[in-house]
Amino acid sequence: MAKKEDLDLDVEGKGKKSSKLKLIIILLLGLLVLGGGGGAAWYFLVIKGDRVAEADAGMEAAGEPAVQKKKNKEPPLFTGLDPAFVVSFKDQSQARFMQLSVELMSRDPEVIEAIDQYKPMLRNNLLLLFSSQKFEDVITREGKERLLEQSLEEVNDTLSNEAGIDGVEAVYFTAFVAQ
């Protein structure tokens, strides 16, 4: 029969062998993961990078831009044509009114200065434009969008004729009430 001391030694011996084996497996797996990550990094940085550079060079040689770069646009600048515009409409059954606030957007500070300088003229021309509209047209979304386009054209025409500059990119109605 085996002695108790012999059994303890055998159990401890097997325990040491299995923990060493686990440690070796963990180390090998760690090396495998690190090697795989390093290999992937090398592939994407070196191999893929060379292929992209070659493709860019080929496109540039063909006279095409390699990469369409985003244009560096200046941040938008806004100025309001305050106070709000108030327009009355002719209607046989009842009085109709429209009140709207207008903001203009440009990316050129010179255009914003020109808007401020010619603000009375711009307000006059826009007021004439707004008052020439039909109530039924301006209460629809399509009518409002059309009025925005006409307003933009009117503002740029006025600035072009008076200041020799245009560059208002958008007109916004920041408040719009029609009743």
What is the residue type of 100? L
* Judgement on whether residues 88 and 139 belong to the same structural domain of the protein: yes
| Sequence-ordered list of residues with C-beta below 8 angstroms from that of 108, at least 6 positions apart, any chain | 74, 77, 167
Are 6 and 37 found together in one domain?
Answer: yes
Can you read off the two tokens belonging to residue 28?
């090998």
Q: What is the pLDDT of residues 137-152, one digit of tens each?
A: 888 999 999 999 999 9
- Given CA atoms 30, 31, 37, 40 in this order, what sign does their dihedral have? negative
User: Could you tell me if 133 and 124 are in contact, meaning their C-beta atoms sit under 8 angstroms apart?
Assistant: no
Predicted TM-score (pTM) of the model is 0.58
pLDDT of res. 68 = 47
What is the percent of the chain with per-residue pLDDT over 70, rounded to a whole number?
A: 65
End-of-domain residue from the set 50, 69, 88: 69
Residues 80/102, Cβ–Cβ less than 8 Å? yes
Q: Tell whether 110 and 126 lie within a shared domain.
A: yes
Which residues span the domain enclosing 132?
77-178
If one compares 38 and 57, the residue with the highest pLDDT of the two is: 38
Which range among 39-53, 57-71, 91-105, 115-129 has the greatest average pLDDT? 115-129
Grade residue 90 by pLDDT with cuts at 50, 70 and 90.
confident
Cis ω for the linkage preceding 83 (within 30 of 0): yes
* 109 plus 174 within the same structural domain: yes
Residue 111: predicted pLDDT? 94
Q: Give the residue, 126 or 68, on which the prediction is more confident.
A: 126
d(CA 98, CA 138): 9
Do residues 94 and 161 both lie within one domain? yes
The answer to whether residues 112 and 157 belong to one domain is yes
Domain end marker among 16, 50, 69: 69
Which is more confident, 112 or 57? Answer: 112
84 and 170, same domain (yes or no): yes
Judge whether residue 69 has pLDDT over 50: no
Higher per-residue pLDDT: 92 or 145: 145
Domain-ending residue, one of 69, 94, 129: 69
Same-domain pairing of 84 and 58: no
Percent of the chain, pLDDT > 90? Answer: 46
Helix 119-131 vs helix 141-163: crossing angle, to nearest 10: 140
pLDDT classification of 100: cutoffs 50, 70, 90: very high
| CATH code of 108's domain | 3.30.479.30
Rounded Cα distance between 98 and 87, Å, is 5
User: How many domains, in total, are found in the chain?
Assistant: 2
